[in-house]
Amino acid sequence: MSDVANPHLQRHAPLYAKLERDEFDSASLRQPFSIVGAILRTPGAVLRDLKAEKNLSGYLACLAFTTILFSAAYGAILGLFQPGVQTLYSAAKLPIVVLGTALLCTPTFYVFNAILGSRFTFRQTVVAVLFLAASAALVLVAFAPIAWFFTVSTKGEGFLVLLHVSVFLIAAWYGMRFLSTARKYLGYLDATQTPIHGAFLVVWFGIVILVALQMAWYFRPLLAPGPEGPVFHTGQRGLFFEALEPFVK
C-alpha cells in the first residue's frame, strides 16, 4: 500500500481513498434492505467485510433475499404486458434466471480464481458473486417504474423486447462494475494475493452473459405467453441465438 511509485496505484488512488472512507456496520444487516444502501453508497466497507469474512452469513441472506425480491418485481412488470397468470409466472421465473445464472457460474469463478492465485474461500466467492446478482437486480428494480410505464402504454412487442434487453444490459453492466471495483480494491487491500484475476474476470463476464441468455431463453416466455396460453415452463429446448434468426434472415 505504501508503494506510491506503482502507476496502477497512482491511477486509482482517488478511488481507493474514497473506498477507504466508506463505513458500514454489518450488524444492521438484520434489516435486509440495508444492503441496498451499502451497495450504492459504501461499497468499500462492504468489500472490507468480505475480505475479513465478517458476517458473511448475514450478507449471504440479505443479498439472496434482495436479488429474489427485486428480480421478481421486475419479472412481474415484464409479465404485466399480458396481465393475469403470465404476470405471476414471469415474477417467479426472473429470480430463477438471475440467481440461477449467478449460482451456475459461481464454481467456475471460484476454481479459476483460486488456480490463478486467489485465497478467497468458497463462501467469500459466493458472496462476491451474489453482489453482482444483487447489484444487477437493484438496477432492474430502479428501472421498474419506467418499464411499467412503457409496458402498460405500448401495444407492440418489438419495442418492449428492445427496452427490456437494454435494461438487462445496463443491469449486467452495473453488476459487473461492482465486481470490477471489488477486484481493484481487494487487490489494493492485500497485495500478497490476487483475490480476483483481471483477465479471467473479463472471460468470466462473457460466460455469465452467455449463461444468462441461455437461462432466459430456456425459461421463455417472459413477456407474453405463446398460442397455447400461459405455462410456467414450456419444456422446449433451444439455443438463445435462435432469437436473433428473424433479424438475420
Partner 1 sequence: MTAIVHALLVRRTDAAVPALLGMAALSSSCFGAAVGAYVGGWQTAFAAVKMPVYFLGTLALSFAAMHVFAARDLRAGETFRAALETVAITAVVLGALAPVVFLVTLSCPKPSPRGYAFVILLLTGSVAAAGVTGVVRLHARLRSWRLTAGWIAIYQFVGAQAGWLLKPWVSHTLTDDRFLPLRENLQGNFYESVFRTAVRLFS
Which residues would be at the binding site for partner 1 (CB under 8 A)?
A: 103-105, 107-108, 110-112, 114-115, 117-119, 121-122, 207, 211, 214-215, 217-218, 237-239
187: which 3 cell numbers? 487487490
Helices and strands in the chain: count of H runs, count of E runs: 10, 0
Q: Which residue lies nearer to partner 1 by CB, 13 or 239?
A: 239
Which one, 116 or 142, has the nearer CB to partner 1? Answer: 116
Residue number, 107 or 198, with CB nearest to partner 1? 107
Shortest spacing between CB 115 and partner 1, in angstroms = 6
Shortest Cβ 118–partner 1 spacing (Å): 7
The nearest distance, CB 119 to partner 1, in angstroms, is 6
Q: Which is nearer to partner 1, 2 or 192 (CB)?
A: 192
Q: How far is the CB of 111 from partner 1 (least distance, A)?
A: 4
> Of 170 and 207, which CB lies nearer to partner 1 in the complex structure?
207
Secondary structure, 3-state, 114-152: HHCCCCCCHHHHHHHHHHHHHHHHHHHHHHHHHHHHHHH
Tell me the three cell numbers of residue 207: 460466460
Least gap, CB of 216 to partner 1 (angstroms): 11
Would you call 243 helix, strand, or coil by DSSP?
helix
